[in-house]
Amino acid sequence: MALYAIGDLHLSFANNKPMDVFGGAWVGYVDKLREALAVIAPSDTTLLLGDLSWAMDMAGAKEDFAFINAIPGRKIIIKGNHDYWWTTAAKFYSFCEENGFSDMYILHNNSYEYEDIAICGTRGWFFEEDAKAGSHNDKVFKRELIRLETSLKAGGDREKYCILHYPPRYRGYECPEILALLKAYGVTLCCYGHLHGASHRLAIEGLHDGVDFRLCAADYTKFRPLRLK
């Protein structure tokens, strides 16, 4: 019953946006993912940290989710900044049922149990976005904070792991509101994605203020799921 995490699969089976065009580590990335994800067993849980499919809607994401569905075991999913297919939980589960997909669950204003740990999280926020008071981005940011706290509260008194798409800290940047929530609710591990290529060198990992941070973007982990437990 292992616990894994990986983000930023950027699948594009039905859309003309394969990541191979960026060269380097992304060349042949789907085959790399398929081989690396084979270590996962039906009794395992995999945390998928957003940016899973380039599709613009659920119909266009069908082939991408067929690939994700083939990952054995339970899959817990959060939204990334490029997940334009993202819809309501009800519509997502209906889509899964219609296509025979199973063991995929959206993490959105809730939490899930893994042994004695509560898996919490949301998309998060990033300094690339302008969040001036009263702006649209400010409203989105505040909603993300509400969603994160709702998820953390749902975790109750259990030890908490938090998954985000955006890194809450970065060399030269911190999101104090998110970091404060992680500390207030006793989060012990925070996994995030989003950072690619040259940005890897700016990632902050390891123990900081009581929280162990891990970058789980697929091209950073060499397209292997990171085993957490």
pLDDT at 75: 98
What pLDDT was estimated at residue 149? 98
Number of independent structural domains in the chain: 1
The first and second tokens of residue 59, run together, are 């119909």
For 24-57, the pLDDT digits (tens) are 788 989 999 999 999 999 999 999 999 999 999 9
User: Residue 217: which domain range?
Assistant: 3-227
Contact predicate 7/229, CB 8 Å: no
Cβ atoms < 10 Å from Cβ of 196: 19
Average pLDDT of the chain? 93
Instruction: Report pTM.
Output: 0.95
Q: What is the pLDDT of residue 22?
A: 61
Residues 6+ apart with CB under 8 A from 204: 167, 169, 170, 171, 213
- What is the structure's pLDDT at 129? 62
Q: What is the pLDDT of residue 68?
A: 98
What is the C-alpha separation between 201 and 87, in angstroms, rounded? 33
Residue 170, pLDDT above cutoff 90: no
Return the biggest CA–CA distance within the chain.
Answer: 47
Residue 142 belongs to a domain with what CATH number? Answer: 3.60.21.10
